[in-house]
Structures are given as C-alpha cells and as structure tokens.
Amino acid sequence: MVNRRLFRPGFPEPKEPMPGRPAHGGPIPSKKPAPPEVTHAENYYWVKQMQSHLPMCIVLMDGETLHGTIEWYDRDCIKLTRTGSPNLLIFKRAIKYLYKEGEDGAAADTGDSDEDKIGNI
C-alpha cells in the first residue's frame, strides 16, 4: 500500500482569539478605538484669541457682561485684561458664553452657533 501525503497547507495560528457573541445574542463588540476625550479645539480657540488681541465680551452665568482681551488661559480659568479696570481671573465654569466685541450680542443670546462663540465651556 502506498503512503499518501496530504499536500494541503495547514491553517495559520490565529493572532488573537475572535470575540464571541455575548450569551444574550447582542452585537459583537467592535475593535474600533474610542474617540479621544480631548480634541484640542478649545485650546486652539483660546490661543487664536490671545494672539489676535481681539476685544471680547464675556457673559457670566449670573448675566454680568465683562469686556477685555484674553491674555492667558489654563484648564480651569482665563485671565481677562481690561483697560481702566483691574484684570480678572475668571473660572471657565462661570462663563455662559463669549463673543467678539464687534459682533452684536443679540446673535449670541439666541443660541446661534458661530465659530467665534463658545457656549457652555
């Protein structure tokens, strides 16, 4: 009798085991990574306003409106430089919205989206 060899290549070893379906029959979990928590858009906005030295109007949660230029910022607060008044350090959580001083504040009150207005910081 003749020995016959099988000339079929073997299966490669799996790199990582395939996740099975949960017992409840739900969808298979995806391998897609979660989106980043920080997009740096807010940082870009603050740097843009600092470098251009544009006069800004900042409306606080209590309705008070402050005018000045943004000199400095960090994770929790901004420094507002004012002429004829003392400079202020404002917590971001106290800001309702802000806009450029040349724009009318009525558009900011309606909640219209604008790239130069940040709401609910």
pLDDT band at 6 (very low <50, low <70, confident <90, very high): low
- pLDDT, tens only, 24-50: 666 666 778 877 877 888 889 999 999
Q: What are phi and psi of 120, to 5 degrees?
A: 50, 65
Q: Which residues pair with 65 in a beta bridge?
A: 59
Q: Does residue 71 belong to any structural domain of this protein?
A: yes
Q: Does residue 3 belong to any structural domain of this protein?
A: no
Using an 8 Å Cβ cutoff, are 69 and 80 in contact? yes
Q: Does residue 42 belong to any structural domain of this protein?
A: no
Q: Does residue 5 belong to any structural domain of this protein?
A: no
Percent of the chain residues past pLDDT 90, beyond the cut: 45
Q: What is the pLDDT of residue 65?
A: 95
Please name the residue that has the structure tokens 């900042």.
58
Strands (E), the chain: 56-60, 65-73, 77-81, 88-91, 95-100, 118-119
Q: Does residue 82 belong to any structural domain of this protein?
A: yes
Q: Which residues pair with 81 in a beta bridge?
A: 69
pLDDT over 50 (residue 80): yes
- Segments forming the whole domain that contains residue 96: 54-119
Q: Does residue 98 belong to any structural domain of this protein?
A: yes
pLDDT over 70 (residue 7): no
pLDDT over 60 (residue 110): no
Q: Does residue 8 belong to any structural domain of this protein?
A: no
State the CATH number of the domain containing residue 108. 2.30.30.100
Q: What is the pLDDT of residue 108?
A: 46
Q: Does residue 72 belong to any structural domain of this protein?
A: yes
Count of the separate structural domains present in the chain: 1
